[in-house]
Structures are given as C-alpha cells and as structure tokens.
Amino acid sequence: MSRKPEKLIDKKGLRLDGRKPDELRPIKIEVGVLPNTDGSAYIQQGKNKILAGVYGPRELHPKHLALPDRTVLRCRYRMAPFSVQERKSPAPSRRDIELSKVIREALEPSVFLEYYPRTGIDIHIEVLQADGGTRCASITAASLALADAGIPMQDLVTACAAGKVDNTIVLDLMDTEDKEGGADVPVALMPNLNAITLLQMDGILSLEEFEKAANLALEGCRKIYPMQKEALKAKYVSVKEVEE
Ligand code: UDP
C-alpha cells in the first residue's frame, strides 16, 4: 500500500510532480488512431492513457430504442483491469456506469442530434492507464472522436478539473491529489460557445473556493482547446498528403 504523502504542496508552492498550482500535466492528443472505427482519438494527460472510438450514425439495435426525431447517443466508459494499481474487475462498476452517463451528457449538447433521426451513435472509451481526471480526459478525447467521425457539432467539448489540495486551489489533479486532496471540480466546456456542459463537485469547498476552482478549470479547458484543434488538423493534413 502506498503511504500517505506528508504534504501535497511543498515550501516553494510546487506540487508532488513539480507543477505550479495553475499548471496542466503534459498533454498529447492524436486523432484517427483506430482504422476500424468511424472516428477515434487517443489522449495522454500526465499518466492517463485513454482511447475513444466512435461508430455511427448507424441503424440502432435494439430497434425499439430508436427515436423518431433524433439520433441516440450511447457512451460506454471502461477501465482496463491493468489501468489502476489495484487490479480493477472487468465487470462494469457503479462508477463506470455513472461516468458513462456523465460523459454522454457532457457531449450531447455539442452534437446536432436531430440530423440523424432513427439512428444511433456509439462512443466507446477505454482507459488503458488511469491517474486522476479520467472523466475529463475521456470527454476531451471522445469529442475529437465524434469530430473525426464527421458528425456535425456546434463546437468541440473540452474538459478539465481543478480542486483543493493543502488549502491551495490547483488545476488538473493527478491521482494522489484527487485521493488525498480536499475537493475536485470537473468541468466541461464548449469553448467557442462559452457554454458549460458538465459541472460536478466532489468534496467540500467554500463558495469562494468553488468559484476559484471552477474558473481555474475553465481556464484549463481553454488551454486544452487549441491542442484539440491542432490534433484534428494534424489528422487531416496527413490524409491530404496521402491523397496528393
Ligand atoms: N481509481 C482507481 N481504481 C478504480 C477507480 C479509480 O485507482 O477502480 C483512480 C484512478 O486513477 C482515477 C482516480 O481514482 O483516475 C479518480 O477517480 P474519480 O472517480 O475521481 O474519477 P476521475 O478523476 O478519473 O474522473
């Protein structure tokens, strides 16, 4: 068992991994990584490694779930048994089911659902390695996978969390900060529309601290958004080069 760290913020104001309070973990994003899907994306955010694959819009099975006026967005978030220190059972946990719902609801407002009546769009999220903030990194990747599948959207959705550790509000919590810290506020944003699609809070914060954390998380989303756009562009530049 890992020992509880003495302090999450050192005398210089730096965190366990050397980051400043308002610093993101290193992020790497790739779009179009799974040729067998209609759209896909891969994200590495710190030690998180997450794949998102999209199928659709296509005929929905079972058919009785189909809606006459819009597509049905379905999402499955899954953690690989080897993604965390203590082996995770491959059976869906309550947390997996909750996160699947939360992620779907964060993405739904961005998609023009009414364009594809009587169909379904399936989003599959596979967490290969987890280190805190997987719901946010999953949303960031899944939104790109939807865009890669050519699904018309109002905007990309970008997500990031902020929280409190050792009485300091910090951005993009990693696993130890998430577990040992005081609170966690995951936020998802459509940056171009400035519309929030997810806002959760785990832990206890004063109103002032909550506002500070939510604003810091929004700032984090705005920093990740250009990285998403770059990753999308990189995919299409490579496709164009192959075609030429
Ligand atoms: N975690 C774990 N075992 C589990 C589920 C989660 O070790 O069965 C870790 C994992 O690193 C995850 C973190 O706990 O990222 C925080 O989980 P939380 O439920 O807060 O969601 P997240 O922060 O990943 O969105």
Tell me, using a 6 A CB cutoff, whether residue 101 lines ligand 1: no
**DSSP state, residue 111:** B
* Residue 113 dihedral angles phi and psi, to the nearest 5°: -60, -30
Task: Enumerate residues 6+ apart whose C-beta is below 8 A from 134.
Answer: 48, 50, 79, 99, 127
Tell me the C-alpha distance between 107 and 198, whole Å: 9
Point out the residues of the chain with pLDDT beneath 50: 1
The closest alpha carbon to 228, from 166, 162, 146, 152, belongs to 146
* Ligand 1 atom with least separation from CA of 93: 8
The alpha carbon of 175 and the centre of ligand 1 are apart by a number of angstroms equal to 7
pLDDT at 3: 55
**DSSP state, residue 89:** -
H helices of the chain, where? 94-107, 134-148, 175-180, 207-243
What integer best gives the mean pLDDT of the chain?
A: 95
Query: Please, what are the domains in the chain?
Result: 27-243 (3.30.230.70)
Tell me, using a 6 A CB cutoff, whether residue 135 lines ligand 1: yes
pLDDT at 241: 77
The alpha carbon of 239 and the centre of ligand 1 are apart by a number of angstroms equal to 35
One DSSP character per residue, 150-163 reads: T--BSS--EEEEEE
pLDDT in tens, 4-21: 556 899 999 999 999 999
Tell me the C-alpha distance between 191 and 142, whole Å: 16
Tell me the C-alpha distance between 234 and 181, whole Å: 37
Q: Which residues pair with 58 in a beta bridge?
A: 120
The alpha carbon of 234 and the centre of ligand 1 are apart by a number of angstroms equal to 30
Tell me which H or E stretch contains 71.
none
pLDDT in tens, 62-91: 999 999 999 999 999 999 999 999 999 999
Mutate to test the pocket of ligand 1, among 44, 138, 175, 187 (most ligand atoms within 8 A of CB): 175
pLDDT at 5: 54
pLDDT at 238: 79
The alpha carbon of 54 and the centre of ligand 1 are apart by a number of angstroms equal to 23
Tell me, using a 6 A CB cutoff, whether residue 131 lines ligand 1: yes
